[in-house]
Structure 1
Amino acid sequence: MNRSRVIPKSPPLRLHLRRNALPFPFGSPHTSLTRNGRFAIREGLRALGLPKGAKVLLPAWHCGSEADAVLAAGMKISLYRLQQDLSADLDDIRRQLQGGAVAAVYAIHYFGYPQPLRELQALAREHGAAVIEDVALGLFSCTPDGASLGGQGDMSVFSLVKTLPLPDGGALWLRRPCCKATDRLTAMPLRPALAGLKGVLRRGIAAPRPVADAPAHLLEAWHPRAGISETDMGGRISPFSRILLRMADSGKVRAAHRANFKTLQDNVPRHAGMHSLMPDLPAGACPAFFPLFTRNADRVHAALHAENIQSVRFWRQFHHAVDLASHPEAEALKRSVLRLPVHPGLRPQDLQRICAVLHQII
């Protein structure tokens, strides 16, 4: 194995001159493109007309940027529990809905694995709450019966950059058309737009850079750049991303993500506290990444980086406005999940090398 080759965490840019038709949410008149998923959440909550000060139920395990967007929209956060398979705990959601003052239930389709939307919608309708779908980790995903993931609730949000080689990009879909959903947003500043484009072009032209040594300690404090301020209006997608998005081939992307995910799922170690976080890949799911659970996340992450394999400590930061003290399972996930790449730029020998290094570590 060539250990000198860097295995990148993000997909390389491969230009296709012909324009490709993209599946949902693209092409829908109810979809607006934003700078990232955070802006989509904030503007979507405003477009739904939800009352200020009401609660949005978030799953206990979440990134934190969702919380920033909810707060920026003038709403409050309450957490609900997840089952062991990361499906929503419907009993906990029912209890909180019965308590009143809940305006929306926020469901994250982790890595394109569908949440029980039919049951969630029934609960929400019974108590006059909206259902929000987060498909940031599963762009181009479908349910096992073929329905596009994100088209069942009142609102859905997507992150384009997690799956596609774009400098920026999010999407907001609303069931009820709202032509002014993102009208108040302004163009993102030119400097970060150009910096993002430069990074994407570098991935497509230059060889990935060697991975730096992992830091000795991990910062868990929430970083302001990971969030969104109430006054920040620079939330439109850049023209660079609009152009590159037209060249994406969703069929090839979906096929590569699914195949690479399955390879890792079948070959990563399943002992010594290490295993795939998710069960078998359901039909239609298009995971943005592969989630690896390990009790020794710090050591495994450092060992992967030492072998020039770019892993990421997934959702490691703790948001200052979210108290996870009563959700130890969510705290454990924040400290125990690594993100491995499954993008189309990986070769079979890259996947073999990732699994070999993981077996050596344990």
Structure 2
Amino acid sequence: MGNISISDVKPKADSGFGATLPASTPAPAAANFPRSRLPVAPPLSMASFRRGGGPHVPSILDAGAARLVTSGRVAIALALRQMGVGAGDTVLVPSYHCASMVEPVIWSGATPVFYRINPDTSVKLDDVAAKLDGRAKVLMATNYFGFPQDLAALRAFCDARGLLLLEDCAHSFLGEYKGKPLGSYGDYAIASSMKFFPIYEGGCLVSARHALDQVALQSAGLGFEAKVLINTLEEGFAYNRLRLLKALCWLPMTLKNLLWSQIKARRHTGAQSMAPGSSDGGFGFDPRWLDKRSSFFARAMLKLVSRTRMGALRRRNYLRLQQALDGLPGCRPLHPVLPDGVYPWVFPLLTDDPHAIFGTLKMAGVPVIRFGEYLWQGVDASVCATSVDLSRRVLQFPCHQELTEQEMEWMVDHIRNALLAQKAPPL
């Protein structure tokens, strides 16, 4: 395949913010919610390049050989291909998931078999064992929200049964378990760097056990490189970062927007869009991106952005949310303790009345998200009641390193008020 034109560039679709749907479910409308007043993912700012003091923060890139790709879902597909997964095989997938975890399995020709999890999101190993029918080839295990599974136990379980372990670090780019970086325990591991770095696209495939020489990647072209840079800058501009650069770029950005609106208008008159499915809201797996490496800009950010600062601020913001919401009625943190070596993706809050709280906060512009809101078709309470419960009741709030003190204070106040309002007696 040749270079991909600028119209083919995928948006920041794998960030996990908002629901991800099964292939059989149409993408929902925006539900008339306003744009979040705070950034749900870390935007680029001059603060992004500050060097944080403190000890080294391990990441999945410390675990082994790595290939930098455009998304976590692409990395999953590449891992399955490296493991020889195909027709007739089954892949054991957690019943608490987003579609990006399942679609690559379908693409590989294998059958996803969904296993149960415990209320703390740990793997229910007895259920996994019950689903081993001779066709199971891979166990996919997810470090939800940045909190690792018992990876040593999973590794031993897989070794004893001839299973390959795919360590899903899409929520846990940073962190360690028993002195080893996350990503070290799987035969292969994947991550989504765009959840942690101020970039528009990015994921990685890593293996501590196998060489990745057969994973050959090429550039997606100059249009892709330009689109990534422009969209990253625009996201920063939208949240009042990079103000001087925004002023300097006002005229070229305005001309670019006018030109792009005209291009889109012409396409809507009959010309078929050449954009991959992931460009239209982030739903669907597009194999055209399997051999494309991450952009030069995103790869540079992985080197320039301080992981030490990122880790320290994510932990600080997580603890700030935990302290502010402690003891409020109708909620509790999914993880009441933040262990050493954990650098969370988000702050997951288990709520008693999630629908009302979610709507209230979204209308106020609070960046609240719901991982796994839409489970794969057929995954219901009979498959795993815990997963259904978590998909409905767990709301997640950003705790990334680029939130300012004022933004954190504003978000905390709105969350507290929404929770307290649900328990206030009617007048």
> Structure 2-normalised TM-score?
0.72
CA distance in 1, matches of 2:227, 2:240: 17
Q: 1:247 aligns with which of 297, 304, 317?
A: 304
State how far apart, in whole Å, the 1-side matches of 2:220 and 2:347 are: 30
Match of 1:43 among 78, 86, 91: 78
SS at match of 1:156: strand
Question: What whole-Å deviation, never above 9, does each CA across 1:193-215 have from its counterpart, x for those lacking one?
Answer: 54443232123344359xxxxxx
Query: What residue number does 1:207 align with?
Result: 239
Distance in structure 1 (CA, Å) of the matches to 2:51 and 2:88: 44
Question: What is the aligned counterpart of 2:410 among 340, 353, 356?
Answer: 353
**Structure 1 residues 27 and 267, CA gap change in structure 2 (3 angstroms):** closer
1:315 aligns with 2:372: yes
* 2:44 counterpart of 1:13: yes
Whole-angstrom distance in 2 between the partners of 1:358 and 1:284: 27
Letter in 2 for 1:261: Y
Greater mean deviation of Cα atoms: 223-232 or 45-54: 223-232
Match 2:172 to one of 138, 156, 170: 138
Task: Supply the distance in 2 between the matched residues of 1:263 and 1:290 (Cα, whole angstroms).
Answer: 10
Q: Structure 1 pair 228/357, CA: closer, same or farther in 2 (3 Å)?
A: same
Please give the per-residue CA displacement for 1:13-69, whole angstroms capped at 9, x wherever unaligned: 135679999844336661111110111111111112245321111111011211001
**One-letter code of the match for 1:203?**
E
User: Does residue 1:173 correspond to 2:206, yes or no?
Assistant: yes
Which residue of the partner structure matches residue 124 of structure 1? 158
Provide the rounded CA distance (Å) in 2 between the counterparts of 1:234 and 1:188. 9
Secondary structure of the 2:127 match is helix
Separation (CA, whole Å) in 2 of partners of 1:50 and 1:135:
20
SS of residue in 2 equivalent to 1:360: helix
Q: Distance in 2 between matches of 1:51 and 1:306?
A: 44
Deviation at 1:359, TM superposition (A): 2.3
TM-score by length of 1: 0.84
Structure 1 match to 2:119: 84
C-alpha deviation, 1:186, in angstroms:
4.8
Contact 1:8 1:309 in 2 (8 A): no
**In the alignment, what sits opposite 1:54?**
89
How many residues of Structure 1 are paired with residues of Structure 2 in the alignment? Answer: 342
Partner of 2:69: 34
Q: How far does residue 190 in structure 1 lie from its aligned partner after superposition?
A: 5.8
Higher helix proportion = 2
In the alignment, the residues of structure 1 paired with residue 224 and residue 396 of structure 2 have an alpha-carbon distance, to the nearest angstrom, of: 25
**Structure-2 separation of matches of 1:36 and 1:254:** 21
Q: Which residue number corresponds to residue 75 of structure 1? A: 110
Kindly, what percent of the aligned residue pairs are identical?
29
Q: What letter corresponds to residue 197 of structure 1 in structure 2?
A: L
Written as runs of structure 1 = structure 2, the 5 A alignment for 1:104-119 is 104-119=138-153
Tell me how far apart the structure 2 counterparts of residues 349 and 17 of structure 1 sit (CA, whole Å): 20
Match of 2:380 among 315, 324, 332: 324
| 1:122 CA displacement | 1.8
1:289 to partner: Cα distance: 1.1
Relative to structure 1, is the Cα distance of residues 276 and 243 closer, same or farther in structure 2, using a 3 angstrom cutoff?
same
* C-alpha deviation, 1:79, in angstroms: 1.1
SS, match of residue 235 in structure 2: helix
Report the residue type matching 1:323 in the other structure: V
SS at match of 1:57: strand
Q: Which amino acid aligns with 1:134?
A: D
Distance 1:118 1:191, change over 3 A: same
Query: How big is the alpha-carbon RMSD for the aligned residues of Structure 1 and Structure 2?
Result: 2.9
Matches of 1:351 and 1:19, distance apart in 2: 21
Q: Secondary structure at the match of 1:265?
A: helix
Contact 1:44 1:174 in 2 (8 A): no
Separation in 2 of the partners of 1:114 and 1:108? Answer: 8
State the match for 2:391 in structure 1. Answer: 334
Letter in 1 for 2:415: L
Bigger relative contact order, structure 1 or 2 (CA pairs below 8 A, ≥6 apart): 2
Matched residue SS, 1:237: coil
1:212 aligns to what?
A: none
Give the direction of change, closer, same or farther, for the CA distance of 1:349–1:49 in structure 2 (3 Å limit).
same
Amino acid at match of 2:37: V
Q: How has the CA–CA distance of structure 1 residues 314 and 196 changed in structure 2, closer, same or farther, with 3 Å as cutoff? A: farther
The yes-or-no answer on 1:266 pairing with 2:323 is yes
Code of the aligned partner of 1:300: I
Q: Could you say if the C-alpha distance between residues 190 and 65 of structure 1 is closer, same or farther in structure 2, counting changes exceeding 3 Å?
A: farther
Shift of 1:71: 1.4
Partner of 2:130: 95
Q: 1:318 to 1:197 in 2, by over 3 A?
A: farther
Unaligned 5+ segments in structure 1 are 210-221
Write the distance in 2 (CA, Å) between the matches of 1:237 and 1:176: 23
1:299 Cα offset (Å): 2.4
Give 3-state SS (helix, strand or coil) of 1:198's partner. Answer: helix
The 2-side partners of 1:311 and 1:130 are apart by 35
Unaligned runs of 5+ in 2: 1-35, 242-277, 420-427
